[in-house]
Amino acid sequence: MDKLWNRNYCKVMAANFTLFFAFYVLTPLLPLYLSEHFGATKDVIGLVLSGYTITALLFRPFSGYVVDSFPRKMVLMVSFSVFAIFFAGYLAASTLLLFTIVRTLHGGPFGALTVANSTVAIDVLPSSRRTEGIGYYGLSNNLAMAIAPTIGIFIYQLTNSFEFLFWLALIVATTGWLIDSTVKLKPRNSRDSSQDRSSRLSLDRFFLTRGWLLGLNMVAFGFSFGVLSNYLAIYGKEVMGITGGTGTYFMLCSVGLILSRLQGSKALRDGRVTHNAATGMVISLVGYTLFILMPTLTQCSMVNGQWSMFIGYYGSALLIGLGNGHMWPAFQNMTINVATNKQRGTANSTILISWDIGMGLGILVGGIVAELISYSAAFWTVVLVNGTGVATYFLATRAFFLRRNLNPTVR
């Protein structure tokens, strides 16, 4: 059997960890920085920070095209270097306007880099272990998401210095660039690359139209996590009476993600991607339902005590992490396997775009529903949308994938 953990694959995974560590080590502290350093209000903070996501979303379709049309190593190194340099921009930004410009533009290289690095990871995997390798690849950013925010908060409490954190993010990102610079890729056929660039531009060069239903299905799951990640803290405090538990919740969610990658590796190794997708979706749906149902059951005296509330609250984190950890690599594999080899970058950008659109809609709709009705209603919307996504998969998406699958080793 071909070697999965080859040198180049391990390097790409390590670089992926550094880019997400640099991102997440700042994420929980940027609102505090904007408030303390520039005196920004809550609505301004939200506006400033949302620019990063919007720019990343706008860049991703073009990133897939560029990664498929030009030498991937060159695209990877350029996007990684620009991503790292922008952390120096945070140090140089002396006004709120300058910081807003830097933060918004920073989303561009992040969007390009996540597409380029994941596509290179696929390139360095042996074809016989690719399905399994894609599943393990996500462990690197799951691990960064689990530990980087905690480390960032600890360092800030120790040093009381945002400048130190910006330097740390810059150094870590530069380390990732150095690691990726040593990755060796097989040269692509230059004739194919030039044909890719000169061929007629169409929507399929920027969004994988062959996988449109997979993308639409992913929007539903991104919507659910968008509501959860943005309104968890205030819902937990106002409805469940849980304060200060947000960090623990996402830590447990990350533990579930990591466990799922280890648990689901055999099914991916055997090519059972539709099985992994189905398992993950159902587990996530149970987690979201448990999350919203527990306060209702407690209020109706169907379950007793605050301990039941805590078990339901934190138990849902493990279930949602476990479910998403099964579902995400399965959908990524399915999207890649309905694409040709020349469309790997486009396939990767498609799955990321779909998730981002869902996240954005979740933040927007969740906020509107919470304002007009309540936060409980917003989370019941999550269950409804997530359940619709699960039903769509079993009724249509699974068959859609199997009809268009180009890889006979997966099913």
CA pair distance 114, 23, nearest whole angstrom: 12
Terminal Cα distance for the chain, rounded: 20
Tens of pLDDT, residue by residue over 363-373, are 778 878 887 88
What is the Cα–Cα distance from 288 to 382, expressed in whole angstroms? 7
Say how far apart CA 281 and CA 389 lie, in whole Å. Answer: 8
Among residues 374, 401, 30, which one has the least CA distance to residue 216?
401
Residues whose CB falls within 8 Å of the CB of residue 406, separated by 6 or more in sequence, listed in order? 337, 338, 339, 340
Q: Which residues does 199 contact at the CB level (< 8 Å), separation at least 6?
A: none
pLDDT tens-digit map of 328-371: 889 988 998 998 877 877 888 888 889 888 887 887 788 788 87
Structure confidence at residue 383 (pLDDT): 94
Which domains, and CATH codes, for the chain?
Answer: 7-198 (1.20.1250.20), 204-404 (1.20.1250.20)
pLDDT band with cut points at 50, 70 and 90 for residue 198: very low
275, with CB counted inside 10 A (0-12, 13-18, 19+), is: middle
């303390």: which residue's tokens? 36
Q: Region 131-158: what's the mean pLDDT? A: 83
Sign of CA dihedral 342, 133, 221, 113: negative
Q: How far apart are CA 86 and CA 28, in angstroms?
A: 18
The pLDDT of 103-108, averaged and rounded, is 93
Helix, strand, or coil here: 123? helix
Contact indicator for 115, 352 with CB cutoff of 8 Å: yes
Distance CA 219, CA 358 (A): 4
Tokens 């493990």 correspond to 318
Burial, 49: exposed, middle or buried (Cβ in 10 Å; 0-12, 13-18, 19+)? middle
Of the candidates 341, 366, 405, 401, the one whose C-alpha atom is nearest the C-alpha of residue 215 is 401
**Whether the model pTM is above 0.85:** no
Highest average pLDDT, of 46-55, 297-306, 313-322, 355-364, comes from 313-322
Question: For a pLDDT cut of 90, what percent of the chain falls above it?
Answer: 38
CA distance 193 to 270: 32
More confident residue, 288 or 135: 288
Whether 18 shows a pLDDT value over 90: the answer reads: yes
Using the predicted structure, report yes or no on whether residue 269 has a pLDDT greater than 80: no
* pLDDT-wise least confident of 57-61, 74-78, 236-240: 236-240
Q: Say how far residue 81 (Cα) sits from the centre of its chain.
A: 21
DSSP string, 261-281: HHHTHHHHHTT-HHHHHHHHH
Residue among 254, 175, 226 nearest 57 (CA): 226
- Report the pLDDT value the prediction gives residue 188, as an integer from 0 to 100: 62
Instruction: Count Cα atoms within 13 angstroms, Cβ side, for 302.
Output: 6
Cα–Cα distance for residue pair 211/202, rounded to 1 Å: 15
- Distance CA(169)–CA(162), nearest Å, equals 11
Which string of b and e fits 107-129 if b means at least 16 CB within 10 Å? bbbbbbbbbbbbbbbbbbbeeeb
Q: Rounded to whole angstroms, how far apart are CA atoms 216 and 388? A: 11
Whether the Cβ atoms of residue 391 and residue 217 lie closer than 8 Å to each other:
no
Provide the pLDDT for residue 203: 52
- Residue pair 113/12 in contact (Cβ under 8 Å)? The answer is no
| Region 302-312 average pLDDT | 65
